[in-house]
Amino acid sequence: DAGVTQSPTHLIKTRGQQVTLRCSPKSGHDTVSWYQQALGQGPQFIFQYYEEEERQRGNFPDRFSGHQFPNYSSELNVNALLLGDSALYLCASSLAASQLADTQYFGPGTRLTVL
Amino acid sequence: LAKTTQPISMDSYEGQEVNITCSHNNIATNDYITWYQQFPSQGPRFIIQGYKTKVTNEVASLFIPADRKSSTLSLPRVSLSDTAVYYCLVGDRVKAAGNKLTFGGGTRVLVKP
């Protein structure tokens, strides 16, 4: 049973470019959340997708957008990249019907470097 | 959401017990306390969750006093592989799987040989 997978592992972009990160949730999960983790800090919530719609959103600009597909996988898109967007981007999946915190599983993340 | 405060870092030695205390003075009645562990270049991993008194699993113990304004994560007999960042989170357990998680800065635990 595969856990949460993310691609790519690492990515280098330049300022102003656009990037797409991908996440496949753990088998049986239907909810995907995205987090940004700057170096030395805790993860910060970007947004969450359920039933192909954005259900919750953190304090991130509209340059950050996402999508969830019918198979529950998800993409995170960031436009007009800034140096400050350099971070580890984490995907977490869960089952909406569950009421247990320990059913949130994180992927290994995508390390994005903006030059 | 209740804000949490925990030490920035802690050093320990192999075989010792590590106790990390987290303060959450504004915890609400419906809030649970959850701890996550994160190794370098990996995503956080759930360790333990509790509401009051003591919870123990195969990895750690969680002690919560009656006023619930703080909690202590206890890692027994740590090994080098326990070197990680430990995060204390407080939030409503209802529909917890769908909740956004609010992480603080965490506690960096370094286990030395």
**Interface contact B97-A103, CB threshold 8 A:** yes
Determine the pLDDT at residue A113: 98
Determine the pLDDT at residue B93: 66
Determine the pLDDT at residue A101: 64
Assigned token pair, B110 = 């370094």
CB-based contacts of B107: which residues, under 8 Å, 6+ apart?
Answer: B6, B7, B8, B9, B10, B20, B85, B86, B87, B88
Residue position matching structure tokens 């997708």: A49
Enter the DSSP assignment of B52: S
A-to-B residue pairs, Cβ atoms closer than 8 angstroms: 78
Contact of A5 with chain B, judged by CB distance below 8 Å, is answered with no
E strands, chain A, in order: 5-7, 10-13, 19-24, 31-37, 44-50, 53-57, 64-68, 74-78, 87-94, 105-106, 110-114
Residue position matching structure tokens 């959340």: A33
Per residue in A41-58, pLDDT (tens digit) is: 999 999 999 999 999 899
Q: Which of A31, A33, A23 is nearest to A2 (CA)?
A: A23
Sign of the torsion formed by the C-alpha atoms of A91, B88, B45 and A97: negative
- The identity of residue B21, as a single letter, is T
Per residue in B53-101, pLDDT (tens digit) is: 999 999 999 999 999 999 999 999 999 999 999 999 988 765 555 678 8
Determine the pLDDT at residue B95: 53
Where chain A has pLDDT below 50, the residues are none
Give me the residue from A45, A95, A109 closest to B97, CB to CB.
Answer: A95
Mean pLDDT on B19-29: 94
Give percent above pLDDT 70 in chain B: 93
Determine the pLDDT at residue A75: 98
* Residues of B with Cβ-Cβ distance to A48 under 8 angstroms: 98, 100
- The identity of residue A45, as a single letter, is F
Contact of A58 with chain B, judged by CB distance below 8 Å, is answered with yes
